[in-house]
């Protein structure tokens, strides 16, 4: 421990605040009601870390013996031993339980952890509030990466700026907060995943802690009443965020001010002798705070691996048991790993050892990712745990530009030699259907061309595939005209190709959220333990006066009119493919759990047909209103999958064969069934010659 650390007065209420931070994070990841905003505990940790580290640096600079090497050596002793212990513990369980693709992703995350870039890695893979991340054992290390990236730069800047004096340094820290916070605010709507994970939009939270460190060197005098009031306002802000925030909250940005300012007020005002300071200094809270780092490290792997084994919602007894195990493991790692590592006397060799350990951990991660040494599964089991994904078919990656497109449409064709043409347009549901529908239509001499928007993914402010609808937070002044022209271009390209049919396939209900009284939830809840988790998204239409509107009436009118305008421009016949039934469960996860536990996949996976009809009533009312316009036809996937294979159920897996590849996209076998039905319906209605 450095001289500066000895000189810093120990504040037990800070350890109590750590407990306030870590417990909500654990209960949030466990999915307990009342902790929907528990993720804000990470913001509290950022403020605490910024305060403590800045305090240490300032104390050592004032004493004239600050050393970068000693600083980084202390960070290595503080962070790496417990982190690498947890990471290495995860590897054998991943090798035993994870199928190849999931194991490959896990192995890459191990490498990212060892290099302190896991925030960048998890940003590149998925958003924080999606179902896929629930099974990532090392997801939580993104916040550690943020801190280490910050502390690679911050001490250097402090050394460079120290001659300027404290006042100028405080001004510079304050000025650095402004662009970071502005980016966080704008980015939480425009680039939500990157904004959540990357340091540029998070550094302001650590910088707030730095400002506190300077302020508390010579704080303004405040009376007992002020200290009590401000400290309770601080804890109130934190509790408010924990209870009322959720994955739907645009974050970080202005909403992150609530927990960060709450933490700042507690650090500044909850001094010993105040009521809150006394509460936070109570032994139970301090004890939790002391092991909070290990608690944070252990909780996500335990919860993630439980979800790898048991799909769907976890039972309360199981979750409580996992949390209890987390506490035991955390105490042991704190007692026998963290504490001894902190007491080691400074030695230059520690940094070399840390570098070697990082390389070894990264190497093990690469071995897990590419070494093919995981549990052996049969080809059938692998297909059940990772059903074929048409959206990622390499044949869809090299599509040429669509003829005459001004909006970067790509035209994918499987049978270009065929003279008769049809066009398929939509979102990822269209991509999942495309290859099998193309094969079915080719039997009738028709080449099906998939229109893909090349901008999507590259341009964040994209036009939505559901005509007339926009995504909230991704709207620019020119989008009304630009997106209307893009919708018209779908018909123009289809006409240029000489298409006889325009097929439209979309996840309609998902893209209509929210429509008050009609579509109340973004994701589907099957009522049987399966709930999708796609993250915060809202879609709106423009009302009669050009205003943003979420009302069901306006969405009905705008969507209907936009579809009809598209149909009017097309010279052929439009075929609307209705909502593909959502499942709630991810089929591949259910299969993996069943295979791990019982050695075989479930024969049938299905959900309630009545719930499907209730959820999609609004979307189907729109589609039925469009059907018949200029001969438009409506084909319902529910006629294939619901109340037919199993009475009263929508089937996602039959005879242990997955019809879906996740909770809403069709796998090849399901797409083949639907494609065959679409062709049969066209023939039955005398619409296919």
Residues 382, 393: Cα–Cα separation, whole Å: 17
0.85 cut: is pTM over it? no
- Successive 10-residue mean pLDDT values, the chain, 689 residues: 56 95 96 92 97 94 89 89 92 86 88 92 76 83 96 93 93 96 92 92 96 90 89 97 90 95 96 92 96 96 91 83 96 92 66 69 74 74 80 69 86 91 94 94 95 56 86 78 91 94 96 90 87 81 87 95 95 96 90 88 94 96 96 96 95 95 92 96 89
- Quick one: fold of 384-684? Rossmann fold (3.40.50)
CB atoms within 10 A of CB 106: 25
Give the model's pLDDT for residue 347.
Answer: 59
Length of the chain: 689
Q: Which phi and psi (to 5°) does residue 534 adopt?
A: -100, -10
Nearest to 530 by CA among 587, 578, 580: 587
Residues 611, 594: Cα–Cα separation, whole Å: 25
CB atoms within 10 A of CB 271: 19
Give the model's pLDDT for residue 6.
Answer: 44
Q: Chain centroid to CA 316: how far?
A: 24
> CB-based burial of residue 229 (10 Å sphere; 0-12 exposed, 13-18 middle, 19+ buried)?
middle
DSSP-assigned letters across all residues of 286-306: HHHHHTHHHHHHHHHHHHHHH
Compute the CA torsion angle 97, 101, 105, 108 (nearest 10 deg): 100
Nearest to 40 by CA among 23, 19, 21: 21
Q: What does DSSP assign to residue 240?
A: H
Q: Cite the DSSP H helix spans in 310-448.
A: 316-333, 339-343, 349-370, 379-385, 428-442
**CA angle, 553 as apex, 549 and 558 as ends, to 5°?**
70
Give the model's pLDDT for residue 374.
Answer: 63
> CB-based burial of residue 574 (10 Å sphere; 0-12 exposed, 13-18 middle, 19+ buried)?
buried
Residues 372, 85: Cα–Cα separation, whole Å: 23
Q: Cite the DSSP H helix spans in 223-348.
A: 224-244, 257-269, 275-280, 283-290, 292-309, 316-333, 339-343
Q: Containing H/E element for 621?
A: helix 617-626
What the block records as the tokens of 285 is 């809270």
Specify which residues 575 forms β-bridges with.
503, 633
Residues 416, 414: Cα–Cα separation, whole Å: 6
What the block records as the tokens of 315 is 């039972």
Residue pair 20/44 in contact (Cβ under 8 Å)? The answer is yes
What the block records as the tokens of 320 is 């409580």
The conformational region for residue 221 under phi > 0 = left, psi -120 to 50 = alpha, else beta, is: beta
**CA angle, 239 as apex, 234 and 241 as ends, to 5°?**
100
Nearest to 111 by CA among 364, 372, 370, 374: 364
Q: At what angle do helices 12-30 and 292-309 cross, to 10 degrees?
A: 10
CB atoms within 10 A of CB 212: 23
Residues 347, 354: Cα–Cα separation, whole Å: 12
Q: What is the pLDDT of residues 496-524, one digit of tens each?
A: 999 999 999 999 999 999 998 899 888 89
Compute the CA torsion angle 121, 126, 131, 134 (nearest 10 deg): 10
Give the model's pLDDT for residue 130.
Answer: 62
Residues 602, 592: Cα–Cα separation, whole Å: 10
Residues 659, 650: Cα–Cα separation, whole Å: 11
Nearest to 91 by CA among 377, 379, 362: 362
What the block records as the tokens of 88 is 């290495």
Q: Which phi and psi (to 5°) does residue 142 adopt?
A: -60, -35
Q: Which long-range contacts (CB under 8 A, 24 or more apart) does 303-306 make?
A: 303/29, 303/30, 303/134, 304/134, 304/135, 304/136, 304/137, 304/139, 305/90, 305/93, 305/97, 305/137
Bridge-based pairing of strands 605-608 and 633-635 is unpaired
Bridge-based pairing of strands 539-542 and 548-549 is antiparallel
The conformational region for residue 686 under phi > 0 = left, psi -120 to 50 = alpha, else beta, is: left
Residues 330, 141: Cα–Cα separation, whole Å: 16
Domain with CATH 3.40.50.1110 in the chain: 384-684
What the block records as the tokens of 25 is 């994070």
Residues 264, 115: Cα–Cα separation, whole Å: 30
Residue pair 633/687 in contact (Cβ under 8 Å)? The answer is yes
Residue pair 643/653 in contact (Cβ under 8 Å)? The answer is no
Q: How far is CA 614 from CA 255, 272, 618, in A?
A: 33, 56, 8
DSSP-assigned letters across all residues of 177-213: HHHHHHHHHHHHHHSHHHHHHSGGGTHHHHHHHHHHH
């Amino acid at each position: 421990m450095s001289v500066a650390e000895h000189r810093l007065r120990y504040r037990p209420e800070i350890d109590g605040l750590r407990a306030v931070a870590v417990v909500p994070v654990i209960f949030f990841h466990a999915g307990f009601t009342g902790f929907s905003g528990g993720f804000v505990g990470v913001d509290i940790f950022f403020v605490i870390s910024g305060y403590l580290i800045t305090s240490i640096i300032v104390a050592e600079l004032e004493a004239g013996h600050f050393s970068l090497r000693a600083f980084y050596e202390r960070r290595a002793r503080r962070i790496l031993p417990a982190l690498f212990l947890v990471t290495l513990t995860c590897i054998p369980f991943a090798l035993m339980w994870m199928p190849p693709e999931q194991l490959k992703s896990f192995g890459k995350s191990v490498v990212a952890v060892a290099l302190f870039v896991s925030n960048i890695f998890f940003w590149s893979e998925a958003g924080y509030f999606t179902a896929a991340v629930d099974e990532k054992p090392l997801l939580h290390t993104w916040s550690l990466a943020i801190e280490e990236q910050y502390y690679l730069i911050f001490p250097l800047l402090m050394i460079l700026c120290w001659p300027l004096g404290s006042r100028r340094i405080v001004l510079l820290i304050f000025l650095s907060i402004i662009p970071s916070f502005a980016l966080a605010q704008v980015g939480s709507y425009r680039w939500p995943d990157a904004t959540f994970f990357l340091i540029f939009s998070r550094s302001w939270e650590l910088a707030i802690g730095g400002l506190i460190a300077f302020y508390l060197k010579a704080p303004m005098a405040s009376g007992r009443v002020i200290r009590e009031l401000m400290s309770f306002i601080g804890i109130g802000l934190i509790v408010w965020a924990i209870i009322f925030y959720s994955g739907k909250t645009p974050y970080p940005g202005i909403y992150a001010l609530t927990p960060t300012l709450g933490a700042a007020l507690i650090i500044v005002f909850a001094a010993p002798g105040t009521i809150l300071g006394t509460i936070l200094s109570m032994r139970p809270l301090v004890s939790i705070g002391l092991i909070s780092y290990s608690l944070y490290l252990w909780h996500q792997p335990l919860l993630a691996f439980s979800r790898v084994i048991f799909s769907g919602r976890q039972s309360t007894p199981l979750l409580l048991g996992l949390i209890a195990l987390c506490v035991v493991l955390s105490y042991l790692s704190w007692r026998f790993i963290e504490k001894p590592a902190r007491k080691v006397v400074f030695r230059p060799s520690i940094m070399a050892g840390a570098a070697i350990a990082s390389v070894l951990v990264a190497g093990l991660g690469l071995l897990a990712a590419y070494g093919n040494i995981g549990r052996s599964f049969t080809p059938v089991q692998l297909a059940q745990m990772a059903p074929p994904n048409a959206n990622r078919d390499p044949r869809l990656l090299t599509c040429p530009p669509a003829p005459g497109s001004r909006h970067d449409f790509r035209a994918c064709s499987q049978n270009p030699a065929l003279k008769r043409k049809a066009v398929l347009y939509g979102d990822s549901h269209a991509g999942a259907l495309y290859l099998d529908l193309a094969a079915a239509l080719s039997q009738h001499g028709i080449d099906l061309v998939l229109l893909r928007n090349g901008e999507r993914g590259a341009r964040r402010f994209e036009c939505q595939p559901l005509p007339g609808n926009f995504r909230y937070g991704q709207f620019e002044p020119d989008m009304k005209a630009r997106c209307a022209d893009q919708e018209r271009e779908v018909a123009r390209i289809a006409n240029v190709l000489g298409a006889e049919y325009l097929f439209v396939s979309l996840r309609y209900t998902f893209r209509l959220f929210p429509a008050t009284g009609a579509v109340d939830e973004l994701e589907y809840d099957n009522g049987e333990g399966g709930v999708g988790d796609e993250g915060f998204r809202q879609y709106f239409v423009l009302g009669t006066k050009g205003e943003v509107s979420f009302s069901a009436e306006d969405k009905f009118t705008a969507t209907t009119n936009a579809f009809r305008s598209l149909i009017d421009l097309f010279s052929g016949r439009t075929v609307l493919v209705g909502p593909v039934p959502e499942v709630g469960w991810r089929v591949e996860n259910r299969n993996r759990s069943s295979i791990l536990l019982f050695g075989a996949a479930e024969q049938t996976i299905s959900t309630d047909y009545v719930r499907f009809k209730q959820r999609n009533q609004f979307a189907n009312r729109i589609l039925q209103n469009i059907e018949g316009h200029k001969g438009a036809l409506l084909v319902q996937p529910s006629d294939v999958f619901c109340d037919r294979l199993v009475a009263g159920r929508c089937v996602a897996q039959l005879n242990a064969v997955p019809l879906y590849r996740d909770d809403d996209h069709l796998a090849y076998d399901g797409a083949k069934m639907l494609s065959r039905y679409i062709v049969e319906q066209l023939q039955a209605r005398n619409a296919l010659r």
